[in-house]
């Protein structure tokens, strides 16, 4: 790791944070992720608790709530505290609730969602603000199925000032057909142009906004130049462990991540065993340079 990256990590890790009074916050790494305690999400939250959860979310980008016993309506109610939930056509989901996406893998699965590093739905004009995945069943062997989350604020800060300035002048195409390569893709998948570097709508911090799951090319560059630059940025996320935390799932765990400044990678290392979860997604806004 070079000195520029070390300085960026040191700065983020040293940020002063006020103590929490109504919840407990145990950071998973100095850079990203925190386990949240002292809260029962099946019960109405006090205003002070909700305010601290909001602050922890912006500070840590990924929040892990253990030992939660939620009905679908309680899960959705927690999501609505942060915004309107995305509703999908019933014919596009597994189940009959348009606001709930079932995440399921078992011995019959031939692929699982999220096996590559990605940010959810960036081909949309307004990608989601975040998602809450509530896992009810984990592999019977007692291990496997972890999810990695990477901090895209740190990713941009690891690059030289010259590279940051260059990337800040670029835009990229995000194509909803990319995850369907090799399969019959649905009609009318979105394709959208977004800035390569965006600002978080609540904190104003810069974030790298390209990902291998949906980004096809950079508009201002030739095809070869675009591929070389994107490969460098994708490789940074995949190879640099200091960017990421690893969430180990257990039954009745809910994870809430900020889709505006993270990427994630679901590890499918438990075939032919099963994992089952339910996800709600909170609507977001169009990314701004």
Catalytic residues: 118, 120, 264, 279
What Å distances lie between residue 256 and 3, 123, 149, 198, CA to CA?
32, 21, 11, 21
Contact 243, 150 (CB under 8 A): yes
Contact 151, 207 (CB under 8 A): no
CA dihedral 63, 66, 69, 70 (to 10 degrees): 10
DSSP string, the chain: --HHHHHHHHHHHT---PPPSSSEEEESSSSS-EEEES--TTSPPPHHHHHHHHHHHHHHSEEEE-S----HHHHHHHHHTTSPBP---GGGSSSS-TT-EEEEE-TT-S--TT-S-B-TTTTSSS--SEEEEEEEE--TTS----EEEEEHHHHHHTS-HHHHHHHTT-EEEEETTGGGTTS-PPSS--EEEEESEEE-TTT--EEE---TTTEEEETTS-HHHHHHHHHHHHHHHHH-GGGEEEEPP-TTEEEEEETTSEEEEE----TTS-EEEEEEEE-----B-
């Amino acid at each position: 790791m070079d000195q520029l990256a070390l300085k960026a990590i040191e700065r983020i890790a040293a940020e002063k944070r006020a103590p929490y009074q109504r919840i407990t916050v145990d950071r998973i790494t100095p850079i990203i992720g925190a386990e949240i305690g002292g809260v029962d999400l099946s019960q109405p939250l006090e205003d002070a608790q909700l305010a601290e959860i909001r602050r922890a979310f912006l500070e840590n980008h990924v929040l892990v709530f253990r030992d939660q016993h939620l009905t679908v309506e309680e899960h959705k109610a927690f999501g609505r505290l942060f915004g309107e939930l995305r509703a999908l056509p019933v014919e596009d989901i597994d189940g009959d609730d348009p606001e709930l996406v079932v995440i399921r893998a078992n011995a019959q699965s031939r692929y699982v969602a999220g096996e590559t590093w990605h940010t959810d739905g960036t081909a949309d004009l307004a990608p989601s603000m975040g998602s809450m995945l509530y896992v009810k069943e984990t592999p019977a062997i007692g291990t496997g199925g972890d999810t990695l989350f990477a901090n895209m604020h740190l990713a941009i800060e690891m690059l030289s000032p010259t590279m940051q300035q260059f990337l800040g002048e670029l835009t990229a195409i995000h194509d909803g057909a990319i995850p369907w390569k090799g399969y019959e893709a649905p009609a009318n998948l979105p394709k959208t142009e977004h800035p390569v570097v965006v600002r978080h709508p609540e904190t104003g911090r810069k974030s790298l906004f390209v990902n291998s799951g949906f980004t096809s090319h950079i508009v201002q560059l030739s095809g070869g130049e675009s591929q070389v630059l994107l490969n460098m940025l994708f490789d940074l996320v995949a190879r640099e462990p200091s960017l990421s935390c690893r969430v180990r799932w257990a039954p009745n765990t809910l994870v809430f991540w900020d889709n505006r400044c993270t990427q994630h990678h679901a590890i499918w290392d438990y075939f032919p065993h099963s994992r089952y979860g339910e996800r709600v997604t909170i609507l977001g806004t169009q990314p701004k340079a």
